Amino acid sequence: MRSREGELALALFERRKRAGFWRRQWRRLRTPKGATLALLGAAVITLCLLNVLLGTGQGPEVLQVERLALFARGGLLTMATLTVSSAFSMRGLYLQASEIESLFSAPIPRAALIRYRLRSALVRSLFGGLFFGWIFSRRAPEPLYAFAGLVSALLTLPLFGQGLSLVLGDAENRLSGTLAKLPWRWISFALVVTLVVVVLQGGFFESDAHAEFESHDELFSFLAEHPFVVALGLPFTPWVACMTALDAASFWPPFLGCVAIFATLWLAVPRIGIDFRELSLETSADVARRLARARRGLAANSGSASAGTRTWRTPWLAGRGPFGAIAWRKAVTIVRKSRASFLLGGLIVCGVVGFSIVASEPDADAALRGSLIVAGFGTFYLCLGLRFDFREDLELVGLLRSWPVAPWKLFLATLVPETVLVSGMIALGVLALALYHGSWDPRLLVVVGSVPFAVLAWTAIDNATFLFSPIRTGAAHDGALQNAGRAMVLMLLRSTVLAVCAGLAGLPYLLLHYALELPDVVSIGLGLVVGVAILCFEIGSLVFLGGLVLKRFDAPRDVP
Amino acid sequence: MDTRPVVLSVEGFSRSYETHRAVDSLSFQLHPGEILGLVGPNGAGKTTTLRTIAGVLPVKEGRIAVAGFDLARDEERAKRAMRWIPDDPQPFDALTVLEHLEFTAALYGQRDWRSRADELLARFELGEKRDAFGGELSRGMRQKLAFCCAWIARPALVLMDEPLSGLDPRGIRSAKHEIEELAREGTTVILSSHLLALIEELATRLLILDRGRKVFEGTLDEARVRFPEQARGSLEEIFFAATGEGVARVDGRGAPR
């Protein structure tokens, strides 16, 4: 009786959660901003979908059965690998941080909790299954069978993954002394890498490594019949048989097998009699931490300050006043928490520099071209990827606002460290190019000198927009439609403002050189001075605007 | 007529969230060394009031001046005169405890911060944690660090929202002592808390809010005059009488019905 009550309560909880989700969506759409961004987002997503689904306007080519089977096996193998990898890192039962304490302490049987979790996972898989099933079925000789096969496979995988998570958790509980010390993340990472390496290298092409296939069909036949491929694809046989079935007689037996596997897992996984609570708490806390980082825009590019950085001292480059203190605080955070991001950024800049060096002989023009590529690509990548500004401080903007500093100064001081670091990295890249090419063309200085303006303008626009309408990004965010629309608006705004700023700054030189036909020395010198003054004015205006937006920031109203 | 200097002046301050009036036409003044106990039921507008005075939320209706500086027109100087301790202080996770003090001192223009930082860390029992990152501190230690940061800024006004949350008994006693010391040195303190015994012990004045409106302002003695039925009662009884939560709604055993 009690067990039934628990199940009913969970079902009610799920219904309420769904209703809450749709209410939130509806609330977003009711505001002019939400509706506009959703409309733009829907347009972007529709265009992408149409592009994927319709290609160039003609229907996609229907694949031969062997080729279809090969693709199906490959796809299922990839998804199974991801599922296994995820089971290694997320052992136990994952529940949201907000749910876990109340659900674990409630009089609900563990099996009911597992079923609740499975239902949530199945709903998500169903959406994925419907989408991929539709795309896949368009290339199958019998679309309906292919669709049913793929959907059933994608619905079975989460059950398998959950079972594996629980079994692994149980194994860890039993062998906690030994297994708990193992670096599971690295093990799962190594598994994935090994699989990739094995597939790509491990004896796969040895016998016929240099065989020349006269047609794609021969290549596909070779792959489909290769014992390695056959062995890897063996576990997926029933689903692949469904997807490639040509008639009902060849579809129904494997499909019933798939249904039986699904039903068995659905019944068996909740009955795995283990205590998953401790592992689940760890998993949920870990996921919550990652989500929190993701929502602060830091998923890919920020970690936590490691103990080894305690003694690192960051100089107070902007002085010991309030402005310098804010810039210093941000610089310390970047230095201690974002080493990996800057290392990656540095590697990318080095890569571009290296490519430029390899691709051209030492020459002054090549140095300029390379510098422009490094400056353009570096600014684009680093500004897009690094967010060590207000976007990582959303929770703290309230506190920042209580500081005794004018909003524009607070805005500028927060952006300066990131600007200096990005500009410094690009300047080093350009310096490397100049050294290699032996070129000390003054135009390189103009390139290097213009980077801080571009970086500051870019981050100022992004941050002003963010403060005007803050957003939490990352997984489990239910405003995806608005986010897509917002990204489009931001891209347009950024491009327009940067183009106008650069155009206005370049205008004096163009006037002096082409309209007044003054000598180069005069037109370049005067153009540079006036251009820099205009740039300073433009950047100042953007910073002032950012300050105004920061001043109007109202946490209860603006923080999502 | 009160001739003492005014540290905080709030005149006709109101704040709405969409259709909800969180604070309605609030006015009061505070003088140096006063400890104002800000109390009220949940949703009374206490935190909104504190966050607006702190400059976290913009002033939309009314006027707030700190140390004579209008918060809307002269925001920077007004903020320089005060320090805000939220109910759950979040230190910067990449700054050490000592660096928090260094940073705060620079932010509030305090040059001789080092010796005072050492003294404060010792007073608040954070000496051993001076090199720990903000993100490594427990709830109670975060609270103590927030106190140190407020104290090092030497403000004229300190705003505290539930300042004793997370502190152990020893920490609570120490914090209460430090708050009294701070007021004795002339700093004005606003203390918002649901712990009425704490308010009763420390506050020199009371401000009771209910659904955004001021229902009482004055000393505890004045409150007893205003609510004669609770003339010998505790602040708790005065609070219930003032907010209409009512003694009437509490049965003979003291349990809410």
Are residues A314 and A187 part of one domain? Answer: no
Minimum-distance CB partner of A396 among B79, B90, B103: B90
Per-residue pLDDT of A249-259, as tens digits, reads: 999 999 999 99
Strand, helix or coil for residue A96: coil
CA-closest candidate to residue A516, choices A537, B183, A352, A524: A524
- Per the structure, the complete domain to which residue A390 belongs is given by 307-558
Are residues A368 and A261 part of one domain? Answer: no
For B164, the token pair is 């004793």
- Looking at the DSSP assignment, which residues form a beta bridge with residue B61? B14
Are residues A321 and A266 part of one domain? Answer: no
Question: Is residue A199 a part of any domain in this protein?
Answer: yes
Which amino acid would we find at residue A446?
A: V
Distance from CA of A22 to the nearest CA of B (A): 21
Are residues A228 and A103 part of one domain? Answer: yes
Question: Is residue A54 a part of any domain in this protein?
Answer: no
Contact B94 A333 (CB under 8 A): yes
Alpha helices in chain B, H assignment, sequence order: 46-53, 75-80, 97-107, 113-123, 139-152, 169-184, 196-202, 220-226, 235-243
Residue B111: predicted pLDDT? 84
Are residues A370 and A241 part of one domain? Answer: no
Alpha helices in A386-441, H assignment, sequence order: 397-401, 407-437
The answer to which of A172-176, B3-7, B162-166 has the lowest mean pLDDT is A172-176
Contact B57 A333 (CB under 8 A): no
- CA distances B55 to A447, A553, B59, B60, B82, Å, are 41, 11, 8, 11, 10
How confident is residue B46, by pLDDT bands cut at 50, 70 and 90? very high
CA-closest candidate to residue B162, choices B177, B149, B180, B146: B146
Residue A348: predicted pLDDT? 78
Which residues in chain B are closer than 8 Å to A293, comparing Cβ atoms?
Answer: none
Residue B53: predicted pLDDT? 93
Final residue of a structural domain among A268, A295, A322: A295
Q: Which of A296, A312, A339, A401 to mutate to test the interface with B (most CBs of B within 10 A)?
A: A401
Question: Is residue A21 a part of any domain in this protein?
Answer: no
Mean pLDDT over B125-145 rounds to 90
Question: Is residue A1 a part of any domain in this protein?
Answer: no
Pairing of strands B82-85, B157-161: parallel
Are residues A191 and A86 part of one domain? Answer: yes
Domain boundaries, chain B: 1-81+156-171+188-257
Residue B189: predicted pLDDT? 96
- Whether chain B has a CB inside 8 Å of the CB on A313: the answer is no
User: B84 near B49, Cβ under 8 Å?
Assistant: no
Question: Is residue A6 a part of any domain in this protein?
Answer: no
Are residues A406 and A258 part of one domain? Answer: no
Are residues A368 and A254 part of one domain? Answer: no
- Whether chain B has a CB inside 8 Å of the CB on A324: the answer is yes
Question: Is residue A46 a part of any domain in this protein?
Answer: no
Residue A298: predicted pLDDT? 47
Contact A401 B56 (CB under 8 A): yes
User: B159 near B81, Cβ under 8 Å?
Assistant: no
Question: Is residue A434 a part of any domain in this protein?
Answer: yes
Per-residue pLDDT of B224-245, as tens digits, reads: 888 877 767 788 888 888 887 6
- Whether chain B has a CB inside 8 Å of the CB on A304: the answer is yes
Are residues A336 and A288 part of one domain? Answer: no
For A440, the token pair is 């000390």
Contact B93 A305 (CB under 8 A): yes
Which residues in chain A are closer than 8 Å to B58, comparing Cβ atoms?
Answer: 551-552, 554
Residues in chain A, pLDDT under 50? 1, 56-57, 204-211, 298-301, 475-476
How confident is residue B247, by pLDDT bands cut at 50, 70 and 90? very low
Are residues A270 and A180 part of one domain? Answer: yes
pTM (two decimals): 0.69
Minimum-distance CB partner of B57 among A320, A322, A555: A555
- CA distances A317 to A320, A321, A329, Å, are 8, 11, 11
Question: What superfamily would CATH give domain B1-81+156-171+188-257?
Answer: P-loop containing nucleotide triphosphate hydrolases (3.40.50.300)
- Tell me how far the alpha carbon of residue A455 is from its chain's centroid: 22
Final residue of a structural domain among A295, A319, A351: A295
Are residues A256 and A320 part of one domain? Answer: no
Per-residue pLDDT of A351-396, as tens digits, reads: 878 777 776 777 778 888 888 888 888 888 888 877 788 887 777 8
Give me the number of domains chain A comprises.
2
Contact A556 B17 (CB under 8 A): yes
> In terms of CA atoms, which chain B residue is nearest residue A329?
B103
Which residues in chain A are closer than 8 Å to B133, comparing Cβ atoms?
Answer: 305, 310
Residue A210: predicted pLDDT? 43
Final residue of a structural domain among A235, A270, A295: A295
- Whether chain A has a CB inside 8 Å of the CB on B86: the answer is yes
State yes or no: ipTM above 0.90.
no
- Whether chain A has a CB inside 8 Å of the CB on B73: the answer is no
Q: Count other C-beta atoms under 10 Å from residue B233's C-beta.
A: 16
Residue A268: predicted pLDDT? 94
Q: Count other C-beta atoms under 10 Å from residue B221's C-beta.
A: 9
Contact A404 B79 (CB under 8 A): yes
Residue A63: predicted pLDDT? 72
Minimum-distance CB partner of B79 among A324, A333, A403: A403
* A&B contacts, CB < 8 Å: 85
User: B209 near B49, Cβ under 8 Å?
Assistant: yes
HEC profile of A318-347: CCCCHHHHHHHHHHHHHHHHCHHHHHHHHH
Are residues A336 and A287 part of one domain? Answer: no
Q: Count other C-beta atoms under 10 Å from residue A77's C-beta.
A: 17
- CA distances B86 to A371, A433, B93, B147, B165, Å, are 48, 51, 17, 10, 10
Contact B107 A554 (CB under 8 A): no
